[in-house]
């Protein structure tokens, strides 16, 4: 199992809405993530820069950012596109982060 980390950008003023939507995340998205081999998924917010940091464990070949071919994932991205910086297909602008230290 590998750990994957990435950053995304939240639009200013949408912290509460982002939290609300994730507290009410759709069951179909949770199932998709888990069935894809993704676990231990956290997202952190740096309020100073509105940067979101995602960290997850991946046992399969794809992280959550690679699930864009699935209709429910595309629908989730559309739902989130008004409060995040997104690509033309409404996927979040996601930048992989290099692990430079880990202490187990």
Q: Residue 5 and residue 13: Cα distance in Å, rounded?
A: 24
Q: What is the secondary structure of 16-67 as a DSSP string?
A: HHHHHHHHT--HHHHHHHHHTTEEEEEEEEETTTTEEEEEEEESSS--GGG-
Catalytic positions:
22
Stretch (H or E) spanning 6? strand 2-9
Q: DSSP assignment, residue 96?
A: E
């Amino acid at each position: 199992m590998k750990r994957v980390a990435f950053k995304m950008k939240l639009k200013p003023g949408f912290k509460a809405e982002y939290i609300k939507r994730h507290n009410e995340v759709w069951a179909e998205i949770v199932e998709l993530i888990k069935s894809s081999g993704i676990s231990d998924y956290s997202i952190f917010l740096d309020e100073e820069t509105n940067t979101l940091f995602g960290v997850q464990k991946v046992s399969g070949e794809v992280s959550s950012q690679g699930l864009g071919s699935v209709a429910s994932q595309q629908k989730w991205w559309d739902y989130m596109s008004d409060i995040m910086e997104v690509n033309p297909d409404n996927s979040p602008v996601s930048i992989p982060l290099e692990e430079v230290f880990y202490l187990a």
